[in-house]
Amino acid sequence: MSTPTRITRSSARAFGTSAETVTRRALAFAEGLAAAGVLSCGKHFPGHGDTNLDSHLALPRIDHDLPRLLEVELAPFRAAAAAGLPMFMTAHVVFAALDPTRPATMSPRVISGLLRGELGYQGLIISDDLDMRAIADHYGVAEAAEAAIRAGCDVLLLCRDPAHQDQVERGLTLAAEKDSELRRRIGESAARVRAVKQVAKQARAARPPREVVGCSAHRELARRLGGG
């Protein structure tokens, strides 16, 4: 759902180069997924399209002022929150106008303040992979994981190193034993995970049978979309 205003390395993964186009296409895509029994996830909040660094390799920073962020980067996410998308994923990007010191994934101002508070989003919030260098090169995984949970993330991705997964689980368990507020946050997140699992169960029940894959109607649609 990134909304670049110029073609950058990350814009090839966006739905367009304007907020209006991204909003229209992304919500249509999400609606199509829902019709097929698949849950959608809006990413990367609060925007990743106008960065000139790849967060797999470095920590990007966006210095646009708040009016620009509201008009461009945040507009599709505001619409997606209003539409009730079940999940959002956070960006490992520093947005100077929102929080000049921490990437969005670890920022209470961005996650709890902006996404939960101002946008009123009630769905599941997933971190991007904490093993990416935007995080790993600047923070320890245990520190980043705890900060992300405290910021408002519900689910943490650690996709590359099983040892890091064990380290984060131990660290969060020990920290929660000593901190009632962190325990409350984890319990809140666990309730959201259970709710989304229930939604997923209902979506699977409504999913079309596998036999429709490759049917004549689908092949005709693919031909028209491909211009062939």
DSSP, residue by residue, 112-158:
IIIIIIIS---SEEEEEETTSHHHHTTS-HHHHHHHHHHHT-SEEE-
Would you state the pLDDT for residue 10? 46
End-to-end CA distance of the chain: 28
Predicted local confidence at residue 209, as pLDDT: 80
- Position with higher pLDDT, 78 vs 214: 78
Would you name the residues annotated as active-site residues?
A: 56, 128
- For 191-207, the pLDDT digits (tens) are 999 999 999 888 887 77
Is residue 61 scored above 80 in pLDDT? yes
**Contact (Cβ atoms closer than 8 angstroms) between residue 86 and residue 123:** yes
How many CA within 13 A on the CB side of residue 56?
A: 4
Whole-number pLDDT of residue 12 = 66
Percentage of the residues of the chain whose pLDDT score is greater than 70: 93
Percent of the chain residues topping a pLDDT of 90: 68
Residue 9 has pLDDT above 90, yes or no: no
pLDDT at 5 over 50: no
- What average pLDDT does range 39-65 have in this prediction? 86
pLDDT at 3: 55
pLDDT band at residue 49 under the 50/70/90 scheme: confident
- The fold for domain 11-226 equals TIM Barrel (3.20.20)
How much is the average pLDDT of 48-55?
A: 74
At 135, is the pLDDT very low, low, confident or very high (cuts 50, 70, 90)?
very high
pLDDT at 228: 54
User: How high is the pLDDT of residue 7?
Assistant: 41
CA 3 from chain centre, in angstroms, equals: 14
- In terms of residues, how long is the chain? 228
pLDDT value of residue 50: 76
